[in-house]
Amino acid sequence: MHERRTFRSLLPLAALCLLAVLPFAAQALGQPALTTLATRMLILGLAASGLNIALGMGGLVSFGHAAFYGIGAYSVGILTTHAVAGAPFLGFIPGSEQLVVTLLASLLASGIVAAIIGALALRTSGVQFIMITLAFAQMLFFLFVALKAYGGDDGLSMRRRNAFAGLNMRDDATFYYTCLSVLLVWLAISARLLHSRFGLLLGGIRQSERRMQAIGVQTVRLRWLAFVISGMGTGLAGALMANLGRFVSPDMMHWTQSGELLIMVVLGGAGTVFGPVIGAVALIGLESLLASWTEHWQIILGPSLVLLALTFRGGLARLGKREGR
């Protein structure tokens, strides 16, 4: 039992070491594409981790988080386009190609959109909440499909990645480390949230809203706050993804993207700090593995997910932990 515990506590450290040397290993193995794949995993891990604040901690099953993912991405795409064209967005917001600026803008934009959607959707609960978040995301999806100024359904391409502190962002390894750093900061914030007063009360609401109301907690306000923070995390991931592929399209807001994020969280372990990232790595890894193997990879992916869900109840992150929390 004791050995097992030390093993578990060493696991994050081992994972961190592996992540730190990954671009070098990929280079040495003659597989540079591996770095890009790993970057994708990190970014979607961040997106799933954002969703986890609402889903895992708050028990809010949002089927519309692709909206925030897309808003974050479009924040980057639109600001970059305006920076290149030299004309301010909406006539007064200057464009920018600085990563710090575009990331902050994506946080702000996805936060505002989450605040509005949350304020309306949180009047409902259960299945209705799922459907309303889905509906809002689809509305935004069609809005951007129709928005010809920013590429419509063709999407927006960017000449180059946003600049950051004189680093060569064109280099995939450099961009990988940038994303890894953002993810680690976000995970540190998540861990802090989970054990904070906010996290404890939010978890309480998930378990019994009636109980929390009876001790004087304003449950709706707290869940709304969780929803906004959650949307911001996923928005940040969208901004990084826009930079990775130098491309933004409405597809990022499609409901299947929301579904994938949900799968990642549940697969990895809802309500845990590392679970969503593990889920993202597992899902994308499985996808690309199967896709390289056969054209009909989805036929295998579906049953594999069902099998995984049945085998690891509570998620991969809870593997080997004792029953319960």
Partner 1 sequence: MQQPILTIERLRKRFGGLRVTDDVSLDVRENEIHALIGPNGAGKSTLIGQIMGEIVADAGTISLCGRDLARLSQARRVRLGLARTFQVPEVLGEYSARENVLAALLARRGGRFFSNASRDEGLVREAEGFLVRAGLDGRGDQRVADLAHGERKLLELAVALATHPRVLLLDEPMAGLGPQESTQMIDVLRSLRGEIAMLLVEHDMNAVFALADRISVLVYGRIIASGSAAEVRADPLVRIAYLGTEEA
Residues that bind partner 1 (CB under 8 A): 192-193, 195-201, 203-204, 207-208, 210-218, 324-325
CB of 131 vs partner 1, minimal distance in Å: 26
CB of 53 vs partner 1, minimal distance in Å: 13
Nearer to partner 1, 50 or 95 (CB): 50
Closest C-alpha to 72, from 225, 269, 230: 230
CB of 60 vs partner 1, minimal distance in Å: 16
CB of 236 vs partner 1, minimal distance in Å: 18
Cβ-based burial of 257 (10 A; exposed 0-12, middle 13-18, buried ≥19):
buried
Distance CA 228, CA 234 (A): 10
Distances (CA, A) of 157 to 34, 198, 250, 317: 23, 40, 12, 36
Query: Can you read off the two tokens belonging to residue 310?
Result: 């049945």
Nearer to partner 1, 123 or 195 (CB): 195
Nearer to partner 1, 135 or 191 (CB): 191
**Which residue type does 138 have?**
Q
Show contacts of 97-102: CB within 8 Å, 24+ apart.
97/160, 97/162, 97/163, 98/162, 98/163, 98/164, 99/161, 99/162, 99/163, 99/164, 99/169, 99/178, 99/243, 100/164, 102/75, 102/76, 102/162, 102/239
Nearer to partner 1, 30 or 216 (CB): 216
Distance CA 287, CA 281 (A): 10
**Which residue type does 172 have?**
D
Nearer to partner 1, 190 or 258 (CB): 190
CB of 114 vs partner 1, minimal distance in Å: 18
Nearer to partner 1, 213 or 298 (CB): 213
CB of 219 vs partner 1, minimal distance in Å: 9
